[in-house]
Amino acid sequence: MSEYPDEFDTHTGNWKHSKLLDQCIGEKSKIKLLILDVDGVLTDGTKVYTQEHQPVYKRFRCKDFTAIKRFIAAGVKVIMLSGDNWNSEMARQRNIPFYCTRGSDLGLDKSVYLKHLEAQYNVKRENMAFVGDDYFDLSMFKTLFWTFAPSDSPRIIRQNCLYLLKSKGGQGVVQELYDFLVGKGIVENATEEAVAELDKKEASSAAMK
């Protein structure tokens, strides 16, 4: 995303790339792969640790998981790209492919995964969307067009996202994104039947409600 937004929102005090976004209205199927950061997007970024520094507690919103199903039912593949491998079990329970960006041979730059994702999902970069909230996500914001951020992201992320969401991290970010993209005609609205079918396939469906 360019660093030159075209509109200043006096309510939020942030710049928006609204004209650019409006040019894409109605161009359905433009987004084929939605890449979600987890901490600070699906959660508010809070982690509760044991004394041994093992994270034990995070808070997620059911509405966001439903919104993920609605994206998938609408034909948008959804994956998670996170620096915290703690999230992998959550993703597995939800049938969402998970990629951990940190390891002994891995750096913090999430955009190095794009080449791999292009091949794995047969999706070009211009058809990928990303939601992230923190400084280490910046390369994704600078590389991809469809980029979104929670409203409590740092200034540099707010300046580089295509569209700044009103929700803070952990407060319905994915739900708002789904409603926004469907409202703009960029993503098709999923049918209730298709969403319900996905819900049935979720390994933890009964246990987590």
Interface residues with Mg ion (CB under 5 A) are: 37, 39-40, 133-134
Choice between 102 and 124, CB closer to Mg ion? 102
Choice between 1 and 138, CB closer to Mg ion? 138
Q: How far is the CB of 86 from Mg ion (least distance, A)?
A: 13
Choice between 5 and 40, CB closer to Mg ion? 40
Q: Is 162 exposed, middle or buried (0-12, 13-18, 19+ CB in 10 A)?
A: buried
Helix H, strand E, coil C: the string for 133-168 is CCHHHHHHHHHCCEEEECCCCCHHHHHHCCEECCCC
Q: How far is the CB of 18 from Mg ion (least distance, A)?
A: 24
| Tokens 């919104």 belong to residue | 67
What is d(CA 109, CA 112) in angstroms, rounded to the nearest whole number?
6
Phi, psi for residue 149 in degrees, rounded to 5:
-145, 145
What is d(CA 46, CA 168) in angstroms, rounded to the nearest whole number?
12
Q: How far is the CB of 179 from Mg ion (least distance, A)?
A: 21
Choice between 133 and 176, CB closer to Mg ion? 133
Choice between 64 and 134, CB closer to Mg ion? 134
Q: How far is the CB of 137 from Mg ion (least distance, A)?
A: 6
Closest residue to Mg ion, judged by C-beta, is 40
Give the list of residues 6+ apart from residue 139 with CB closer than 8 angstroms, or none.
109, 110, 111
Q: How far is the CB of 149 from Mg ion (least distance, A)?
A: 10
